[in-house]
Structure 1
Amino acid sequence: MCQNFHISRRDFLAGTGVLLASRFPLFAESAEEPIIDIHQHTDYAGRTHEHLLAHQRKMGISKTILLPAGTPAFGMSTHHGKTNGLQAKCSGNDVCYAFAQKYPGEFTFGANEVPDLPDAVKEIEKYLKLGAPVIGELKFGVDCDSKEMQNIYKLAEEYKVPVLMHWQFQMFNYNFERFPKMLEKYPKVNFIGHAQTWWANIDKNHTDQNVLYPKTKVTKGGLTDRLLSDYPNMYGDLSAGSGLLSMTRDEDHATDFLTRHQDKLLYGSDCDDIAGSGETCQGSQTISEIKKLASSKKVERKLLYENAKQLFRL
């Protein structure tokens, strides 16, 4: 037996709105307050492209920068191949570029290469010419002031793009304490600091560099803090567990730190989960922590959107 059901126009539109919001959270969550994620990867720890897309939309990200790995290599800079794929099975320039071309409104791509490969500069330049707004992430076992790295800094200067570096004691980008000389030598290059050693050194009392994830209270004035204060071309990437820990380990310090460096800090996720929300997603937790600790809405919007929009000219 058939029945005739009458649905009002108002009820139909309301139901449609709920359906669209659940299927397309990107537009539902980020239309009024967009967020730029400066740090994500394709094929991260085996995550599929479909899961990456859903993850970013679930977090409410308006624009994502995909940071590629370098070409697989088996020299000292990749620890004889053990840290290929940025030590996380991430894919390279071609994959990031193709993904961004498929979703141009939501994604863009970086440019990267193993610094001591013969064609490193040529490979990076190829993708800069295609429109990459950043070089990185540079996560290789080389001296931060080596000839090979300085060739990349010179290229960044020529193309007016930032360089994003992963600092990890005795593992990636050696000799953090010597980096101020590079900031002085390349004042026109904007450098972005990221990862364990970068964030551990917000604390003036951090002396044991073997400790990558310190959980003690923070005394301001560490090397990272000073670099952000003293050099106009130094920025900080709040991504990954190290970035999140830099805030949660001492929230009182974090509020002050975010305020003092409100024009120099950038939101990134750098998480490999598929959830995009909740306790299993470090990227969404970082967003929540920024919103919790920012001293004003103005500061929050700088960290989540405005600084990245300006720095990367998005």
Structure 2
Amino acid sequence: MKKIDIHLHLTLNQYPKTDSMFISSAENMIPHLDKLNIEKGILMSAGESNNSMMPIGYNDECRQICEVFKDKYVWMCNLDYNDEDNIYERLSLYKEQGAVGIGEFMINRKLNDTFIQKVFEAAEKLDLPILFHMSPKEGYQYGIVDDSGLFMLEEALNKYPKLKFIGHSQPFWHEISKDAGNSLEERMKWGSGKVTLGGRLPYLFEKYPNLYGDLSANSGGCAIMRDEEFGLDFLEKFSDRLLFGTDMVNNEMEFPLGKWLDEKYEEGSLDKETYENICNKNAVKLFNL
């Protein structure tokens, strides 16, 4: 079965390479996706307005890409941190334009911030899943902020039971192990070593059926691969709410989780239903593809 990649960052036009990380155009990315057995990708939006010197696909650009490459890409919308009074109307418009969710939601405010709460409320009413990047504190990089233990996330999961939350980034996946440290440095590390049972994240997955997991990048991938026995059990236990993704931005990137999933399935360590759900079927169902 071919994969659906729920987490890509691309542009409509190809920008020249620089000494730093470059971004591929949607067209130039297609051969690379085909090579990785990815039949469809979901584009992450960086917001409503493009103020970057090297854009990574804002709402309108993501929409245009999907109009040009209808069979290869769909998109999620995003919001800028501004007017709180028309959040529902803005999201409703983007949904009408074809957005299948909100992502990558990364406003660097605490999860209980009024604006973020209003986004959650509107997203729940509009049935738009929200894929969020998490940061360990305000003023640090980007992403919505929760403290160690993810207690504000738990409040939101309880408050908005019909909203599908899709977790991503190191501070989210760090909580898979009970011995998760609470310092900024520890929360920003990729997971490694044996998982200690009793972590907050497995508890949240068990208690809240509206919590989903984005397995992209080294944050999600390492959380699963760090402890093979635990990882395979976690995949099977929550096989209806885990989604394959890469977080690639160009056609020279590749993350190891895709091949690892293939290998585990081929050797019989991962059953067919779990493999197909994670790689494809969950995305089809969640985003109505």
| Contact 1:197/1:209 (<8 A) preserved | no
1:174 aligns with 2:150: no
Please give the alpha-carbon distance, in whole angstroms, between the structure 2 residues aligned to 1:163 and 1:305: 18
What displacement does 1:270 show? 0.6
Q: What amino acid maps onto 1:147 in structure 2?
A: T
Partner of 2:104: 137
Secondary structure of the residue that 1:179 maps to in structure 2? helix
Q: What amino acid maps onto 1:37 in structure 2?
A: D
1:53 aligns with 2:30: yes
| Contact 2:48/2:60 (<8 A) preserved | no
| Contact 1:254/1:293 (<8 A) preserved | no
1:292 aligns with 2:255: no
Secondary structure of the residue that 2:166 maps to in structure 1? strand
| Contact 1:199/1:224 (<8 A) preserved | yes
1:249 aligns with 2:215: no
| Deviations 1:168-226, CA, capped at 9 Å, x for gaps | 21232112321111111100111100111111110111023421223221113212211
Partner of 1:111: 77
1:35 aligns with 2:9: no
Please give the alpha-carbon distance, in whole angstroms, between the structure 1 residues aligned to 2:182 and 2:176: 13
Between the aligned residues of both structures, percent identity stands at 29
| Contact 1:100/1:109 (<8 A) preserved | yes
Match among 169, 187, 196 for residue 195 of structure 1 = 169
Segment of structure 1 superposing worse, 49-58 or 100-109: 49-58
> Measured at CA, do residues 38 and 252 of structure 1 come closer, stay the same or move farther in structure 2, by a change above 3 Å?
same
Please give the alpha-carbon distance, in whole angstroms, between the structure 2 residues aligned to 1:223 and 1:116: 32
TM-score, normalised relative to structure 1: 0.78
Please give the alpha-carbon distance, in whole angstroms, between the structure 1 residues aligned to 2:261 and 2:237: 14
1:126 aligns with 2:93: yes
| Contact 1:35/1:60 (<8 A) preserved | yes
| Deviations 1:240-287, CA, capped at 9 Å, x for gaps | 111111122211211111111111100111122313xxxx511xx221
What does 1:275-314 correspond to in 2, within 5 Å?
275=252, 280-282=253-255, 285-293=256-264, 295-314=270-289
Please give the alpha-carbon distance, in whole angstroms, between the structure 1 residues aligned to 2:193 and 2:182: 13
What displacement does 1:122 show? 4.1
| Contact 1:190/1:234 (<8 A) preserved | yes
Please give the alpha-carbon distance, in whole angstroms, between the structure 1 residues aligned to 2:183 and 2:28: 35
Partner of 1:17: none
| Deviations 1:127-167, CA, capped at 9 Å, x for gaps | 11112111111112111121101111122112112111111
> Measured at CA, do residues 69 and 157 of structure 1 come closer, stay the same or move farther in structure 2, by a change above 3 Å?
same
Secondary structure of the residue that 1:116 maps to in structure 2? coil
Partner of 1:19: none
Please give the alpha-carbon distance, in whole angstroms, between the structure 2 residues aligned to 1:106 and 1:116: 32
Please give the alpha-carbon distance, in whole angstroms, between the structure 2 residues aligned to 1:293 and 1:202: 21
- Structure 2 segments unaligned to the other structure (5+ residues): 12-20
Please give the alpha-carbon distance, in whole angstroms, between the structure 1 residues aligned to 2:60 and 2:49: 13
| Deviations 1:79-122, CA, capped at 9 Å, x for gaps | xx8xx69xx84120011100011111111111101233556554
| Contact 1:111/1:136 (<8 A) preserved | yes
Match among 229, 241, 256 for residue 264 of structure 1 = 241
Number of aligned positions between the proteins: 265
Q: What amino acid maps onto 1:244 in structure 2?
A: G
Q: What amino acid maps onto 2:93 in structure 1?
A: K
Query: What is the alpha-carbon root mean square deviation over aligned residues?
Result: 2.1
1:218 aligns with 2:203: no
Segment of structure 1 superposing worse, 132-141 or 203-212: 203-212
